[in-house]
A and B are shown apart, each in its own frame.
Chain A
Amino acid sequence: MGGSMAHRFAETPPLPNPLIVPLGDQGLLVRFATTLSDEANLATIAFAQQLQERLPEGVTEIDPNLVSVLLKYDPRKVEFERLAGEVRLLVGSGPKLKVRAPRRHRIAVRFGGEGGPDLEEVAAALRLTPESLVAAHNARPLRVLTTGFAPGFVYCGFHPDELVVPRRTTVRASVAAGTLLFAAGQSAITGTAIPTGWHVIGRTEFRNFHPEKDSPTTLREGDELTFEALP
């Protein structure tokens, strides 16, 4: 890693004006889009990183999502309109929003078999062999699009169009922590046992949730994951 400043930042394209709306009486939601796109997700990550450096007055917590950032605030410390104004100033700077160079991680996965019962079916649906699906899945790094659905859960994307499959029509009642999920052009890693309607294609020893630590998860939005197939 390291390198010159020029390599450490990537500028996002100028952003559309985000929608700033109340979410309840203690939340301000900054929505960069109403549908998921690479551009809106990058803007979200850049904005969250910028906020993290200095939380605006009265903000108690930020929670980045796929295309929005929730700012939890104390209305006794800051008025909604004032906070909204401050947010407009921050994002209004357009091209000044920059995504930091990603932290990189390698995730070793055992694809298929007992830990990945849907691999063959997904491969067949994509007219690929299981081996070529794994190769295509791992061909390039994926970005952590967001966290927070469940403890330690990460959404990663995006896969190219030729790897897009819909979710399953039925929900599995529980899959273990460390399960690699696949659907809708994304992969996801579970941090705890959860129910899911995504395809289960592999299992990793990597655990992204350690509740005994002050910072209980390792992966953050914007991180880059390189998946590797274990034999």
Chain B
Amino acid sequence: MTAIRITRASPLTTLQDAGRFGYLRHGISASGPMDRAAYNRAGTWLGGAGSTAIEFTRTGIGLAVEGGSLAASCDGGSFSLHHNGKAMNWPARLTLQDGDVVEIAPGADGNYGYIRFDHEVDVPLLLGSRSTNLVAGLGGLEGRALRKGDRLELGAQSKRAMSQHPRAVGTEPLPIRFIWGLHADLFGEDVRQSFVVGSFVVSQRIDRMGARLEDRTGVFAGSPILSLVSDAVVPGDIQILGDGTPIVLMRDHQPTGGYPRIGTVIEADLDRMVQLRPGAEVSFEPIRLSKAHALLTAGAQ
């Protein structure tokens, strides 16, 4: 049986398929790839990819193939890739044989990368998905992050589909677009205005639950501490903690929350948001819902 041996793993490396949808009321957020577009592109380069990807973080990952041959593809951010010691372009499609080694080292850009295979990763389906939810300790491999020495058996080969030659997709440093949130009115016109004209810095504290931002100009300093009835939370919600720290909630968010939310990053820009590294400057631009829907539809094509 063909298997993948993890020879080196970045922190918080997990297995992710498209996500575990439909269980919010049971207290389970959908998880799934932090950068959905990159996960989808990796599938496109391969043509007929298994649904489950390895999602790795900034320091990359090392893999060895055991027992057979397979095809794989990589995308997300910009990493340095070597196949049996030979430097390859990023993103990539790879044909791998028994004993091959793949080394993915930190690159110029991004926090999350994906490797997909032309086989399903043979871990149990849990509530319809193989995604790892680290907060609840569910799914993936034993509900946990992958680590050195883990062996991932590959299941059935996926149906072949049209593949595409991998090509890098550039991202421009545009503002992150958002829709005003359910508590926007509680912040006051002056705070809303300075939120839009100000800029923030991505902090070191970023993970699958959320990205904390540094508010160096003190947009939210002095915001009153509000006692709110807890309400539904969605990925992209920009929540302001009691001490004024903004957090953009991500794929493993808690399904409900009681902190005020000034807005929600649109789905089409969340992939770009998650790839911003600590230290990167970020600004926010409000858009209309209809514009967000147009962007979402355009992105899906």
Q: Are B136 and A60 in contact (CB under 8 A)?
A: no
B-chain residues with CB within 8 Å of residue A212 when the two chains form the complex:
126
Q: Are A211 and B27 in contact (CB under 8 A)?
A: no
Q: Is A70 an interface residue (CB 8 A)?
A: yes
Q: Which of B25, B229, B236 contacts A67 (CB 8 A)?
A: B229
Q: Is B171 an interface residue (CB 8 A)?
A: no
Q: Are B25 and A25 in contact (CB under 8 A)?
A: no
* Size range of the chain B interface in the assembly: 35 or more
A-chain residues with CB within 8 Å of residue B28 when the two chains form the complex:
151, 216
A-chain residues with CB within 8 Å of residue B296 when the two chains form the complex:
25-26, 75-76
Q: List 21 A–B pairs whose Cβ atoms lie within 8 Å, in order of A's numbering.
A: A23-B181, A23-B234, A25-B266, A27-B232, A34-B228, A61-B22, A63-B255, A68-B231, A76-B296, A76-B297, A79-B293, A147-B25, A148-B26, A148-B232, A148-B256, A149-B27, A150-B27, A151-B27, A192-B136, A212-B126, A221-B25
Q: Is A65 an interface residue (CB 8 A)?
A: yes
Q: Is A36 an interface residue (CB 8 A)?
A: yes
- Contact A25 B289, CB 8 Å, known A36-B229, A149-B27: yes
A-B contact count (CB 8 A): 126
CA A4 – CA B22 in complex, angstroms?
A: 34
A-chain residues with CB within 8 Å of residue B297 when the two chains form the complex:
75-76
CA A214 – CA B128 in complex, angstroms?
A: 8
Q: Is A198 an interface residue (CB 8 A)?
A: no
Q: Is A225 an interface residue (CB 8 A)?
A: no
Q: Is B138 an interface residue (CB 8 A)?
A: yes
Q: Are A76 and B289 in contact (CB under 8 A)?
A: no
CA A217 – CA B22 in complex, angstroms?
A: 13
CA A209 – CA B143 in complex, angstroms?
A: 15
**B39-76 at interface with A (beta carbon < 8 Å):** none
Q: Mark A207-224, 1 if CB is under 8 A from B, else 0.
A: 001011011110001000
Q: Are A191 and B289 in contact (CB under 8 A)?
A: no
Q: Are A34 and B229 in contact (CB under 8 A)?
A: yes
Question: B255's closest neighbor in chain A, by CB?
Answer: A148
Q: Is B179 an interface residue (CB 8 A)?
A: yes
Q: Which of B26, B127, B235 contacts A147 (CB 8 A)?
A: B26
Q: Mark B179-199, 1 if CB is under 8 A from A, else 0.
A: 101100000000000000000
